[in-house]
């Protein structure tokens, strides 16, 4: 049952026939872990807190810097120097005190990822490095968690939902079997990123999380969306499960988190 305060706060959700009280109750009972409180995690966290996700976890071990503020809209100028998860948790609680916020001031590793994601239903990956991206993909596969993954660089973004543990659904390694060699792919501090493009992708990520939480529409599992901001071009392509995938294929070579090369 929703309280009087919730009926008012979520009124625009409740009048949506496809959401209504049952959908809002599902959103409230869903636990989401956002990995990376950056340009993607900021809008994703704000929209998910505003939407009334029951429990929202934030993972990041970084502090807010001046150059973050161009896109990381979870933070204010006065937050510079504070830990991102601490400033972020405060902002999210101020937005919606009904959401349980968990701040995880740490870097994900093979040693801590399984225990961390065990407390959540959906993982939203907004990190900017391949090591964490592959680690999260593998961990979500073994823990049978839904992974909604967003990426952005310069003027382009990508979005996909991975459920490699389900029959016929690809994982991230079906697309990219292994991380690129270190140093071969530039990160956002080297290439730059238009702040609002990160906002588009983080908002889409929040939306796909809400669809998964409330069972709305058709999800993005088995699809990949590409956004090109300069031409305002959205494209969705099918993504198949790779029978030769080292993680979710027919003869997997990765059978535990520490077995990857």
Using the structure block, give the residue that is written with the tokens 């459920």.
163
Q: Does 173 bind Zn ion (CB under 5 A)?
A: yes
CB of 129 to Zn ion, least distance (A): 20
CB of 170 to Zn ion, least distance (A): 5
Q: Looking at 101-109, 150-158, 163-171, 251-259, which segment touches Zn ion (CB under 5 A)?
A: 163-171
CB of 172 to Zn ion, least distance (A): 7
188-195: long-range pairs with CB below 8 Å, 24+:
188/39, 188/128, 188/152, 188/153, 191/153, 191/154, 192/154, 193/39, 193/71, 193/152, 193/153, 193/154, 194/154, 194/155, 194/229, 195/39, 195/70, 195/71
CB of 245 to Zn ion, least distance (A): 3
Q: Does 164 bind Zn ion (CB under 5 A)?
A: yes
Site for Zn ion in 101-160 (CB under 5 A): none
Furthest CA-CA distance within the chain: 54
Q: Does 169 bind Zn ion (CB under 5 A)?
A: no
Q: Does 221 bind Zn ion (CB under 5 A)?
A: no
Pick 38 or 170: Cβ nearer Zn ion: 170
Q: How far apart are CA 30 and CA 214, in angstroms?
A: 9
Site for Zn ion in 242-261 (CB under 5 A): 245, 247-248
Using the structure block, give the residue that is written with the tokens 């939902």.
161
């Amino acid at each position: 049952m929703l309280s009087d305060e919730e009926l008012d706060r979520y009124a625009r959700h409740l009048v949506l026939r496809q959401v209504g009280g049952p959908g809002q109750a599902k959103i409230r009972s869903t636990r989401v872990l956002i990995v990376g409180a950056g340009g993607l995690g900021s809008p994703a966290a704000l929209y998910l807190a505003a939407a009334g996700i029951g429990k929202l976890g934030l993972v990041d071990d970084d502090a807010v810097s001046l150059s973050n503020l161009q896109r990381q809209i979870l933070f204010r100028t006065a937050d510079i120097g504070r830990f991102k998860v601490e400033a972020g948790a405060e902002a999210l609680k101020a937005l919606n005190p009904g959401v349980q916020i968990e701040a995880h001031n740490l870097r994900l590793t093979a040693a801590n990822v399984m225990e961390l994601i065990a407390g959540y239903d959906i993982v939203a990956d907004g990190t900017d490095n391949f090591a964490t991206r592959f680690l999260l993909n593998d961990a979500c596969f073994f823990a049978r968690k839904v992974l909604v993954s967003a990426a952005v660089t310069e003027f382009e973004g990508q979005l996909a939902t991975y459920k490699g543990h389900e029959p016929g659904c690809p994982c991230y390694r079906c697309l990219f079997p292994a991380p690129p060699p270190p140093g071969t792919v530039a990160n956002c501090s080297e290439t730059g990123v238009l702040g609002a493009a990160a906002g588009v992708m983080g908002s889409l990520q929040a939306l796909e999380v809400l669809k998964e939480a409330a069972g709305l529409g058709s999800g993005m599992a088995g699809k990949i969306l590409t956004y090109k901001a300069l031409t305002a071009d959205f494209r969705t392509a099918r993504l198949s499960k790779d029978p030769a995938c080292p993680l979710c294929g027919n003869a997997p070579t990765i059978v535990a988190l520490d077995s990857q090369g």
